[in-house]
């Protein structure tokens, strides 16, 4: 079972760096799935201008899109790390999603968000987008509120994730639930394969 942790913010000095360290570090200790970190900074793509990937599955417009598509194809489930930009989720993430489709389909997706309301508005919007991708968006998410963000920013060490300690039970709940769905849906996907 492979769970991908997707970093969806790419700007210089991003807070997501620490969130990614914390989430991957914690989940790597689990024995029920493997973790792969997918950083959208390493998947730069032009603004989507192709044909709808839902209609032309895996007909990749470029080597870069194919690299992202083949990467997402490997996953049994996703944890998207998301900021909230102007009450929405990052456009870089939507652009990456629009270049692909079947790679996400019939897989569970959960979220770790941060910001004034713990990224809740961005996450709610992403749940709606996930339904269009025929995914299973999960109820459990981790919301990193400003107090925790401020405590985390006190430390200049990008590997220092101690400020997130109070959120560990939430992350465990998310991971336990994601495992259940990833197991169930990967078994169902296998059954439909010829
Ligand atoms: C363009 C922009 C818009 C933002 N809008 C919001 C917002 O609507 N709600 C919020 O809670 N934080 C907002 N913020 C503050 C972010 O929560 C904060 O900058 C966070 O560090 C962003 O994640 P990142 O550093 O990984 O990019 C915004 C930040 C930027 C750069």
pLDDT in tens, 29-67: 999 999 999 999 999 999 999 999 999 999 999 999 999
Over 80: is that where the pLDDT of 180 sits? yes
Kindly report the CATH number assigned to the domain that includes residue 53: 3.40.50.360
pLDDT in tens, 81-91: 999 999 999 99
Tell me what pLDDT residue 194 has: 65
What distance in Å separates the CA atoms of residue 101 and residue 55, rounded to the nearest whole number?
A: 9
> Which atom of ligand 1 is found nearest the CA of 14?
25
Tell me what pLDDT residue 192 has: 87
- Report the domain count for the chain: 1
**Residues sharing a CB contact under 8 Å with residue 29, sequence separation 6 or more, in sequence order:** none
Which domain range does residue 167 map to? Answer: 2-192
Q: How far is the CA of 22 from the centre of ligand 1 (A)?
A: 19
**Residues sharing a CB contact under 8 Å with residue 141, sequence separation 6 or more, in sequence order:** 110, 111, 112, 113, 123, 174
| Pocket, ligand 1, Cβ cutoff 6 A | 9, 11, 14-16, 83-87, 115-116
pLDDT in tens, 90-141: 999 999 999 999 999 999 999 999 999 999 999 999 999 999 999 999 999 9
- For the chain, the first-to-last Cα distance in angstroms comes to 21
What distance in Å separates the CA atoms of residue 142 and residue 146, rounded to the nearest whole number?
A: 13
């Amino acid at each position: 079972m492979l769970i991908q942790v997707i970093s969806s913010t790419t700007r210089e000095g991003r807070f997501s760096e620490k969130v990614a360290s914390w989430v991957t570090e914690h989940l790597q200790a689990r024995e029920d799935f493997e973790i792969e970190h997918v950083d959208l900074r390493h998947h730069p793509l032009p603004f989507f201008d192709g044909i709808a990937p839902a209609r032309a599955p895996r007909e990749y417009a470029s080597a870069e899109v194919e690299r992202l598509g083949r990467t997402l194809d490997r996953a049994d489930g996703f944890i998207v790390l998301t900021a909230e930009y102007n009450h929405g989720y990052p456009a870089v993430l939507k652009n990456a999603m629009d270049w692909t489709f079947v790679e996400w389909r019939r897989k569970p997706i959960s979220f770790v968000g941060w910001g004034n309301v713990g990224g809740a508005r961005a996450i709610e919007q992403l749940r709606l987008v996930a339904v269009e991708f025929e995914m299973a968006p999960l109820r459990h998410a981790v919301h990193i509120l400003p107090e925790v963000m401020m405590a985390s920013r006190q430390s200049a060490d990008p590997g220092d994730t101690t400020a997130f300690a109070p959120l560990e039970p939430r992350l465990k709940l998310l991971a336990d639930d994601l495992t259940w769905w990833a197991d169930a849906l990967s078994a169902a996907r296998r059954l439909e394969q010829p």
